[in-house]
Chains A and B, each alone.
Chain A
Amino acid sequence: MNDLLLLAAEEHVIEAGTGGFWSDTAGIMLVTPFIAFLAILAVGKRLKYQGGEIAVAALAVNLVWATVLFVMNMTGGVLDTSNTFEIARIGSNLVFELGWVVDGLSIMMYFLVNFVGLLVFVYALSYMHGDVRVPWFFAAFSLFAGAMLILVGAPNLVQMIIGWEGVGLASYFLIGFYWHDLDNVRAGNKAFMTNKVADVGLILGAVILGVTLGTWDFAALDEAAAAGGEALGAVAVVAGLLLFFGAMGKSAQFPLHIWLPDAMAGPTPVSALMHAATMVTAGVYLMARTFPLFEHLATEARSWMVAIGAITLFAVGLLALVADDIKKVLAYSTVSQLGYMMTAVAAGGYTAGLFHLFTHAFFKALLFLGAGSVIHAVHSNFMQDMGGLRKAMPTTYWTFLVGSAALAGIFPLAGFWSKDEILATLGAEGYTAVMWIAIAGAFVTAFYMTRCVALTFFGTYKGHGEPHESPRLMTAPLIGLAIPSILFGLLNIPGVELPGIGNFTEWLGVRVVAMGDHHAEAIDFALAGLGLGAALLGIILGWAIWGKDRLSQQERDRFQVPVLYPLLRRKYLVDDLALGLVGATTGPIARMVDWTNTYVIDGIVNAVGGVTKWLGGLVYNGLDQVGVDGIFNGLSAAADTAGSALRKMQTGRVQQYASGFVAGALILVVLFVFVI
């Protein structure tokens, strides 16, 4: 069986194209955003859009490459090459490299990041207009794009870590973009620190894998995992779980999800691109990159990962039901959808997880941009200030509706197909209970999105002023994202090959074949019906509760989930516990350490000084009236002497310093001569 797969893989390797010029120069994509970053910092202030145009231009250039590669990959045989150069070599064999991979997986991500990124950047031109520090916004946003592409293109784990921390840094900058308010700074800190905790796992996992394999190359990891090497097998579960712990941070898996809702403190375009479409999928991407490790060796780790994913997709999804802030609804939804992706990949559904990552990026970015458009119009994040906006903001309304339906998994929109594939994978891999949780999750998703749409666009307007549709620079990206949200599900209908281009599964390429990834060969109508039924039920129930303006929002929320409501409002106490624990321990321990430093260690030092001085006095007064007391005079006596000496010296001249120095040096020399 294994042999057959390997054989199949080899055949595909022969088929695999190199992409010629376009893949050889694909590294440009990893560089242009950094050039944009510097250029914006340098001249952004002076430009019309304060640097936004530079950021947009960089991603536009990138999108050319990404699109060409994407199309080549679809039509001319799957690409599989990488270009690297050495940045360090230690001893004879330990090599660090940077470079870029051009294969199905990375091409998919290049396209995603640059396509969604470009639309969000364009949107931001208008959204951020007149805001504070716009050049810095676009600079940091470009920094993010560059770091994300470094992460995506990484041929080895170390480069991925560089990108990984880079996007974390940009995230910190942009969450705390409105840093004059310390609450936003704290949100940024929380994000950075939660991720840093998770990164301990990533770093240690990388250390173990790197030392075991002698390299951080993903290709080598693939090979060693497929060959079932003994050395790697011995550490695979530990290393795998450590990597997964890292992924839990970036991809906001329970209980490390706590940073993501707070991250909504950043400007909405940031939430759309980073905290929904791309950056938060880095954890899933990491799992996909290292998939062979979990497929062949770290199999024991996978049930844990599935469990975490399942908890995330359901429990955190519920939190979206009670959020008042439209962005937080979407944030919890994102966490929940990341749970779907993670569950799928952990269960063995490489393609299923990545396909959901792909479709989710479009419709979730769309939803966030839509929310931004609404916030722009009503000047509030809270849904109790909204309502009835469907007339005033038709484009926003219709595109938001498309996004919501896609997210809820309504046939035939994108989310329907990708979610269905996850359900099929879970069923086929024997995770039946988790499959039912995922179906229940589909119900919850439709439920909270109905609430969100109803509270925002239906009923009567409850805010101030008169909301208007956003300018075209903002609505155009909405439409640009709505189209793939509708259509892109069709790219991977089980068993369907699109004429001339195949399907998403094939584009992911060679590794999929080698890895024996589960993907359905035909549509399972019963399962698809179940998923769709759950979603429809969620919409009907949701509409029944929130569809009419009879009661206030809170009353309707409470009515819906009487027992769980208080618990959900407190976010399962996870935030309180985590922050409480950190707050209750770090401060006191730090103060204890500082106290130890001052009173114990330095206490000893000072005591030695004091005792020496006392001894000196004893020797001088008691034993030797004419003795030299200088040497053993201890700390405080020396302090006195030197103090007055120095005071004299300050009033003196350089010659005195020089002579002081020469005297000191002479003493040393004399010491030498005597000792030697």
Chain B
Amino acid sequence: MDWFETWGLTITVFLPVVGALLLGFIKRDNEDALKRTALLVTALAFLASVGVVIGFDYGGTPYNTYQFEVNETWIGAINANYHVGIDGISLPLLVLSTFVMVLAVIYSWNHWEEPKNPKAFLILMLILATGMNGTFVALDLVLFFIFFEIVLLPMYFMIGIWGDKAPRKVPGFAREFETRLYAAIKFFLFTLFGSAFMLLGFLAIYFESGNVGAERTFDIPALTELGAAGAFSGPGNFAFLVFGAMFLGFAVKVPMWPLHTWLPDAHTAAPTVGSVLLAAIMLKLGSYGFIRIALPILPEEAVSWAPFIAILAVIGIIYGSLACLAQTDMKRLIAFSSVGHMGFVMLGIATMTDIGINASIIGMVAHGLITGLLFFLAGSISHRYHTREMARLGGNIKLMPVLGGILAFTAMASLGLPGLAGFWGEFMSLVSAYNPLDGLSLGVFRTAMVLGAVGTVLTAGYMLWMLQRVNLGEPSAEWEGRQFHDVDRFEMTAWVPLIILIVVIGFYPKVVFNATTDAVTSLVDAAFGTDTTAALSSLVKGG
């Protein structure tokens, strides 16, 4: 299987876009062929990523080494290479990405939103898949940036074309906009705004690497090496600003408060599958960027920015949860819940400890599965009732017991119920906030810990409130005598795997940690010079 060592990642990344090309040759009316091809391609990409999982050497991930690595010259003039590889940090996210994509195709089977056109929609999905998969394996800043940006376009079109057409009042403007247009453009501009700064940061690092190292490079492992040696942290505030630039790019994508306002609009307007992919995978590109690029390359700056990140993260937790409590639109509520959940992910990262970063990765995976499922459900509910207004829903579980039951399950998972996947990210990020990296302000992080814990109460509050309004009570008179089709087989096929994974990770988080722990520990060790769990053990022995 030597060829797979070399080609595995490339196949995983580019198979979808090849599929997109193939789809171009299929007639628009031949819906079956289109869907089958898309399913086949995404399933193969998923299988390829499973192959990577199987071939992955879990014991052998010492610091800054990657498996399934390919490093070929690409744009020689600027020393940008086609460098891809995978380690324990990116492996779970890559699999999440390929996996959710298959489910999204299955779900699409009979859920086409106006103006339908499966061909175009599937092509966009496949392009999106390549962008997302690529981001997780790119080991070159230019390559990373391109993949990171590629995902913008399909999502922009998805929202802009298949999105919600209801007119919407925008504060500050006299006339109304179509929701989808406002949302699509806001999404695009917001992200582009962040990316512009991120690109500046990358370029600055590139030029600086020429001053401190041998030659200018975009190579992430090489830059990581330099970063761990503190090469960029000379006198002056160069590196501090560079981190700030990267921070803007990643923070918009996460999104962190107060750069989050594109998210509720984009989610509310997006078609179901768009929302799912956005929540399940695209948000992780930002937090992954922090772990893969910002932290290892600029560790000292990361530490100086950490309290600030922690404060924003915890504001996000509280603010996002409170905003949820004011929503009347079910999908918008779920969208705001992402702000809170990603707050926990960022709080974990901000502690700069191995526990915190492990927490953030499992938090990302869990959020991907759970919130992805929530958006599937919200989509199916609005597909049936033709409204997302919670005031008009109610008694859903009576009309559709299976759908309602799955919604209840997912809401419980989302509020971090122990025994389900969402618990570990939240709990461990609180654990890490109690003892952040040495030198970080205990006052800030322990306050963040307490507020984060309070945030879990608010989370429970809005989730129960949503269940009460959507699922429970008697159905309103409006739906009397209406027959609703409970979960169909495509929905079931798309959702059951998510449910199973949520339970499995909840009781056996090792499936994720097994991959992440060595990579994270060595990263933290090299970047920040401490192994926090080792410090823990010395504490035990000493006390």
Contact with B along A572-593 (1 / 0, CB 8 A): 0000000000000011011101
Q: Which residue of the partner chain A has the closest CB to B416?
A: A165
Instruction: Contact check, A204 vs B536: say whether CB atoms are below 8 A apart.
Output: no
Instruction: Contact check, A603 vs B172: say whether CB atoms are below 8 A apart.
Output: yes
Whether A14 is near chain B, meaning CB under 8 Å from some CB there, is: no
Instruction: Contact check, B160 vs A646: say whether CB atoms are below 8 A apart.
Output: yes
Whether A563 is near chain B, meaning CB under 8 Å from some CB there, is: no
Of A179, A203, A658, which contacts B472 at CB under 8 A? A179
Stretch touching chain A among B100-108, B228-236, B323-331, B365-373: B323-331
Q: Which residue of the partner chain A has the closest CB to B127?
A: A661
Interface majority SS (helix, strand, loop, mixed), chain B: helix
For the complex, give the distance between the alpha carbons of A204 and B464 in Å: 22
* Interface residue tally for chain A (C-beta within 8 Å): 88
Instruction: Contact check, A610 vs B120: say whether CB atoms are below 8 A apart.
Output: no
For the complex, give the distance between the alpha carbons of A588 and B217 in Å: 53
For the complex, give the distance between the alpha carbons of A215 and B398 in Å: 45
Whether B111 is near chain A, meaning CB under 8 Å from some CB there, is: no
For the complex, give the distance between the alpha carbons of A297 and B190 in Å: 53
Q: Which residue of the partner chain A has the closest CB to B265?
A: A602
Whether B161 is near chain A, meaning CB under 8 Å from some CB there, is: yes
- The distance from the CB of A578 to the nearest CB of chain B, in whole angstroms, is 13
Contacts of B182 in A (CB 8 A): 639
Instruction: Contact check, B473 vs A164: say whether CB atoms are below 8 A apart.
Output: no
Of residues 195 to 213 in B, which have CB atoms within 8 Å of A's CB atoms? 199, 203
Stretch touching chain A among B272-280, B305-313, B428-436: B428-436
Of residues 492 to 522 in B, which have CB atoms within 8 Å of A's CB atoms? 507-510, 513, 517, 520-521
- The distance from the CB of A200 to the nearest CB of chain B, in whole angstroms, is 5
Stretch touching chain A among B374-382, B450-458, B476-484: B450-458
For the complex, give the distance between the alpha carbons of A179 and B434 in Å: 40
For the complex, give the distance between the alpha carbons of A360 and B324 in Å: 42
Instruction: Contact check, A589 vs B431: say whether CB atoms are below 8 A apart.
Output: no
Of B261, B323, B395, B398, which contacts A593 at CB under 8 A? B323
Contacts of A660 in B (CB 8 A): 157
With A189-B464, A601-B261 as contacts: A93 and B537 at CB distance below 8 Å = yes
For the complex, give the distance between the alpha carbons of A594 and B531 in Å: 41
What's the count of A-B pairs with C-beta under 8 Å? 233
Instruction: Contact check, B513 vs A88: say whether CB atoms are below 8 A apart.
Output: yes
Of B75, B184, B417, B533, which contacts A90 at CB under 8 A? B533
Contacts of A176 in B (CB 8 A): 472
Instruction: Contact check, B457 vs A208: say whether CB atoms are below 8 A apart.
Output: no
With A166-B418, A593-B326, A601-B258 as contacts: A214 and B453 at CB distance below 8 Å = no
For the complex, give the distance between the alpha carbons of A602 and B450 in Å: 29
Instruction: Contact check, A589 vs B322: say whether CB atoms are below 8 A apart.
Output: yes
Q: Which residue of the partner chain B has the closest CB to A643?
A: B181
Stretch touching chain B among A229-237, A283-291, A321-329, A399-407: A229-237
For the complex, give the distance between the alpha carbons of A166 and B416 in Å: 11
Interface majority SS (helix, strand, loop, mixed), chain A: helix
Whether B529 is near chain A, meaning CB under 8 Å from some CB there, is: no
Whether B488 is near chain A, meaning CB under 8 Å from some CB there, is: no
Instruction: Contact check, B543 vs A94: say whether CB atoms are below 8 A apart.
Output: no
Instruction: Contact check, A598 vs B181: say whether CB atoms are below 8 A apart.
Output: no
Whether A169 is near chain B, meaning CB under 8 Å from some CB there, is: yes
Contacts of B172 in A (CB 8 A): 603, 606-607, 610
Contacts of B327 in A (CB 8 A): 594
Whether B54 is near chain A, meaning CB under 8 Å from some CB there, is: no
Of B153, B460, B507, B542, which contacts A98 at CB under 8 A? B507
Instruction: Contact check, B120 vs A654: say whether CB atoms are below 8 A apart.
Output: yes
Contact with A along B332-357 (1 / 0, CB 8 A): 00000000000000000000001100
For the complex, give the distance between the alpha carbons of A551 and B124 in Å: 78
Of A182, A188, A207, A215, which contacts B430 at CB under 8 A? A207
Instruction: Contact check, A649 vs B161: say whether CB atoms are below 8 A apart.
Output: yes
Q: Which residue of the partner chain A has the closest CB to B532?
A: A91
CB-defined A-B contacts under 8 Å, sample of 23: A87-B508, A91-B354, A93-B534, A166-B419, A179-B472, A180-B398, A196-B460, A214-B533, A214-B536, A224-B543, A586-B322, A587-B326, A593-B323, A602-B170, A603-B171, A639-B177, A642-B160, A643-B178, A650-B115, A657-B123, A658-B24, A661-B124, A668-B146
